[in-house]
Structure 1
Amino acid sequence: MGTPLGDFIRARRDSTQPESLGLPDRGRRRSPGLRRLDLAARAGISVEYLTRIEQGRDRNPSVAVVNALADALSLDPSERNHLRYLTKITGGECSAHTRPAPPRRDVRPSVLETLRLLEPGIAMVTNRLGDILAHTSGYESVTSGTGLLDADTPNLTRYLFTDPRARTYFADWDDVADEQVFDLWLAPSVENSEWFTAELAPTTSPDFTSRLNRHVVPQRGALRLNHPSGCELRLLRETLELSSGAQQLVVFLPADERTAHAVDQLPRRSPSRLRAIS
């Protein structure tokens, strides 16, 4: 059985072309990307040891080995951080006995007050699983008619993979899907992530599981939305980690004047009716 660490290293090896690292083209091969032999040589470890890591038979590589693999794959800073995180959670898997349980959904009163101060802007409180826990009227206006907030407990990840309207609403659906799946690895605890993926996997296509195991580190550029009113919105995102460490405040800002004008024209309900979902 594989591990998140092994899956990530194998995925990066498969997506790395030898010529990008200055290695010679060794001709056709059965699978794409970098040969295990070449990666092991660049990292200064044996092929047998690399195989054990990729297959999940070695769950505790040293810091030196992890850094050597990061150098050998030419990972960028975000990918290196993710590699270290996966090393940490992979090493703790064998000793984890906590039964997976849903994360807390309550939002602190001070955070709700912060949202009120952001009215009539576009903002929400979420967690790494994609639960939308509270939002401003501005956020409701840009999602109106999409079905995202229709559920009693709306969740962006579930919406992306189970509601066909999501593929129209998000102009760059593939990028947004990769972002949400990646964030499951950064959930407040491995148990929460396991709980959510176990709940979601049976109701989605294999695409969800495939993206989860690819470990694509997202770039998080401007968010492009096809609003049901017919306008295209381009929004920049500022994500602030809340002190609890389990939730984030996300503020959306128009990326251009056309978007700012379009947002101003969208109907809104009274800011006094700020919604907190429990």
Structure 2
Amino acid sequence: MDIPAELGDFLRSRRSRLQPEDVGLVSYGRRRVPGLRREELAQLAGVSVAYYTRLEQGQSQNASDAVLDSIARALRLTPDEHTHLRNLARPAGAARRPAPRPEHARRGTRQLVAALDVPALVLDARFDVLAWNRLGHALLAGHLAADSPYRPADRPNTQRMLFLDPHTRELYPDWEGEARRAVSSLRLTAGERPDDRQLAELVGELTMNSPEFGPLWARHPVRKCAFGTKSFHHPLVGRLELDFEMARLPETGGQALMMFSARPGSPSEAALGLLAASAVPASAASGTARTGTAAHERH
């Protein structure tokens, strides 16, 4: 990923959404482009125009916390956007990552996921599915093989599925909202992992093959979507409104456990019960899961 270009694009996108009157400035003259000018933002942030220009052009990678905090305040960044700004402004501080190799969910994590009676899955930092239980599989990808997370060559990726899989597109009645949420999470992750080649390849693949992804990516949305509510229109049980939570798993390099639940007594809870009754037995994938990760567990 071209970090200097990403930083400049991000700062320009955030300048463009603020007008002088939004921040207490008087607007003079006709503006060729919307938003704050560089000199106006520099004034608000308390830095020189020349310094801010170098930063926006990716020519200064040693900005202090104080300067970045001032720019974040001037741009009225959210906490997630502020974090993203720091990641882009100081990419040298990102940890160098070893050569990529297939990831696996820990045995204990897989056992936990299998034991849960709500839809659950394990994602790596690139949004690859490393494991799911039978309800997670039935909810999100019943059209895929239950053991696909345990075969790296066929491993599902939730971003790829959302933008390129027609079955997944039909699963979300508000597909556009789900797509915005997904790109916001992917943007934040890309800023955290600027040297992740596989993540960059995923972004390139989606840009080339999805007409909707490119324009969304260009807007630089940034938001950590670790909890909330998702709506589904499931082909077997119909409408579902499910709350979700994502929890980072310690010492895994960014893996997360994602779980869905329905409000007690709601129609969605009844629909989940119907889905559980129709889901494939857990044993359909457990044998492959044990075989596919046995060598990994020995190390």
Both proteins in one fold, TM over 0.5:
yes
Shift of 1:35: 1.9
Q: 1:145 to 1:27 in 2, by over 3 A?
A: farther
Q: 1:159 to 1:55 in 2, by over 3 A?
A: same
The range that moved more, 201-210 or 215-224, is 201-210
Aligned to 1:249: 257
Q: Aligned partners of 1:265 and 1:162: how far apart in 2?
A: 28
Q: Deviations over 1:196-231 (max 9, x none)?
A: 322551442364344345331236431111212361
Q: 1:175 to 1:197 in 2, by over 3 A?
A: farther
Q: Aligned partners of 1:55 and 1:271: how far apart in 2?
A: 53
Q: Deviations over 1:2-35 (max 9, x none)?
A: 4333322221111223333233344652222222
Flag structure 2 segments of 5+ consecutive residues without an equivalent. 294-299
Q: Aligned partners of 2:218 and 2:17: how far apart in 1?
A: 13
Q: 1:265 to 1:26 in 2, by over 3 A?
A: farther
The answer as to whether partners of 2:140 and 2:168 remain within 8 angstroms in 1 is no
Aligned to 1:125: 122
Shift of 1:235: 1.5
The answer as to whether partners of 2:63 and 2:90 remain within 8 angstroms in 1 is no
The answer as to whether partners of 1:146 and 1:228 remain within 8 angstroms in 2 is no
- Name the SS for the 1:167 alignment partner: helix
Aligned to 1:238: 245
Number of positions where the alignment pairs a residue of Structure 1 with one of Structure 2: 272
What does 1:67-216 align with in structure 2 at a 5 Å threshold? 67-89=69-91, 91-92=92-93, 101-118=99-116, 120-145=117-142, 152-184=154-186, 185-186=188-189, 189-192=193-196, 194-202=197-205, 203-205=208-210, 207-216=212-221
The counterpart of 1:265, out of the listed 255, 274, 297, is 274
- Name the SS for the 1:195 alignment partner: helix
Aligned to 2:19: 17
Q: 1:251 to 1:21 in 2, by over 3 A?
A: same
Q: Aligned partners of 1:270 and 1:64: how far apart in 2?
A: 55
Shift of 1:61: 1.5
Q: Deviations over 1:73-130 (max 9, x none)?
A: 12222222222222332x458x97x78x545321111101111221x31000001211
Aligned letter for 1:251?
M
Q: Deviations over 1:145-196 (max 9, x none)?
A: 566977821111111222234333223333333333344442674333x323
After TM superposition, the score normalised by the length of structure 1 is: 0.83
Flag structure 1 segments of 5+ consecutive residues without an equivalent. none
Q: Aligned partners of 2:270 and 2:82: how far apart in 1?
A: 40
- Name the SS for the 2:245 alignment partner: strand
- Name the SS for the 1:270 alignment partner: coil
**Structure with greater contact order relative to length (CA < 8 Å, sep ≥ 6):** 1
- Name the SS for the 1:225 alignment partner: strand
Q: 1:269 to 1:6 in 2, by over 3 A?
A: same
C-alpha root-mean-square deviation of aligned residues, in Å?
Answer: 3.0
Aligned to 1:226: 233
Q: Aligned partners of 2:194 and 2:101: how far apart in 1?
A: 11
Q: Deviations over 1:252-276 (max 9, x none)?
A: 1115712111111121122344554
Q: 1:212 to 1:128 in 2, by over 3 A?
A: farther
Q: 1:102 to 1:59 in 2, by over 3 A?
A: same
Q: Aligned partners of 2:67 and 2:30: how far apart in 1?
A: 29
The answer as to whether partners of 1:148 and 1:159 remain within 8 angstroms in 2 is no
Q: 1:135 to 1:66 in 2, by over 3 A?
A: same
Q: 1:47 to 1:205 in 2, by over 3 A?
A: farther
Q: Deviations over 1:30-65 (max 9, x none)?
A: 222222221111011122222221121222222221
- Name the SS for the 2:166 alignment partner: coil
